[in-house]
Each structure stands twice: as structure tokens, then as C-alpha cells.
Amino acid sequence: MPAFTSPPNPHAFHALVWDIVLQIPSGRVATYGQIGALIPPPDGMPLKDYDAFRARWVGGAMAACPDDVPWWRVINAQGKISLRPGAEEQRARLEAEGIEFDERGRVDTKKYKWQAPDKLLYRS
């Protein structure tokens, strides 16, 4: 498998990620992989390769997101907050929006997962 450490056009990919995250309403969450699945693979990249890297690329976009993007609404596939600086703030923001965590620190994604509309609205 090729080692795609970043998207071929990081600026464009990040902008798509942020546009999607801006559409997640208060009280809902999305996973890194879920967001990546909403973005088509870059031209010439096989889908199986994209599937292997999309969640990581979304994570990179979230680490660099502008202040107006609700970064705290993006969690990992296990329903947990990824361990990193800001994890406590992320949990506090989610709880302030009414999202509950179980005893293992997980969000019930069946209850709180955002369902993307069929047609996403992009700024571009």
C-alpha cells in the first residue's frame, strides 16, 4: 500500500473537511472516518487507498482548523475523544451541548451521530 502521509492538495482537502464540520449541529457528533467518507478520493487515487488514509487526513485537517469550526464535534470511530491536548475542553463542550458519555468515556453514536444530508453545502 502506498504511504500517503497527506492529501495531494492539503489546502483543498482541509477546506472540504471544515465545510462539512461547520454543518454538524449542536448536540451531534461525527467521526473522522464518517467525514472522510463524504469527500471523494483525490483524482487518480484508488478508493481502497483513500479508505486507509481518509480518517487520518481528516484528523490533520481538524488539528489545523480555524477558530470558527466546531472541532469538538468530531470524535473517533469508537465514540471517544482522541487523547491529545484539548481533550478535556472537547468533552466539556460536548457535555454543554447535551451529549452524554458512558462510564468508559464513550459517546453513544447511535444516539448522537450526525446524519449528513444527501447534498452537502460547500462554500466553494
Q: Band the pLDDT of 118: cuts 50, 70, 90.
A: confident
Q: Judge whether 55 lies within some domain.
A: yes
Assess if residue 1 is contained within a domain. no
In a domain, 124, yes or no: no
Q: Which of 1, 6, 113, 112 is nearest to 59 (CA)?
A: 6
Query: Looking at residues 19-36, what average pLDDT do you find?
Result: 96
Q: What are 65-95's pLDDT values in tens digits?
A: 999 999 999 999 999 998 888 899 999 999 9
Whether residue 122 is contained in a domain is answered as: no
- Domain assignment of residue 50, yes or no: yes
Give the span between the Cα atoms of 122 and 18, in whole angstroms: 9
Which long-range contacts does 97-100 make (Cβ < 8 Å, 24+ apart)? 97/26, 97/27, 98/26, 98/27, 99/27, 99/29
Amino acid letter, residue 105: G
H or E segment and range at residue 75: strand 74-75
Instruction: Give the H/E segment covering residue 30.
Output: strand 30-31
Cα 107 from Cα 87, distance rounded (Å): 14
Q: Is residue 21 very low, low, confident or very high in pLDDT (cuts 50, 70, 90)?
A: very high
Residue 111 confidence (pLDDT) above 60: yes
The reported pLDDT for the residue numbered 24 is 97
Backbone region of residue 57 per phi and psi (left: phi > 0; alpha: psi in -120 to 50; beta: other values):
alpha
One-letter amino acid for residue 94 of the chain:
L
Establish if 83 belongs to a structural domain. Answer: yes
* CATH code, domain carrying 68: 1.10.10.10
Domain tally, the chain = 1
pTM across the whole model: 0.90
In a domain, 43, yes or no: yes
Domain span at residue 32 reads: 10-112
pLDDT value at position 104?
95
- Residue 117 in domain: no
Query: How confident is the model over 115-121, as a mean pLDDT?
Result: 76
Segment 42-58 shows an average pLDDT of 92
In this prediction, residue 6 has a pLDDT band, given cuts at 50, 70 and 90, of confident
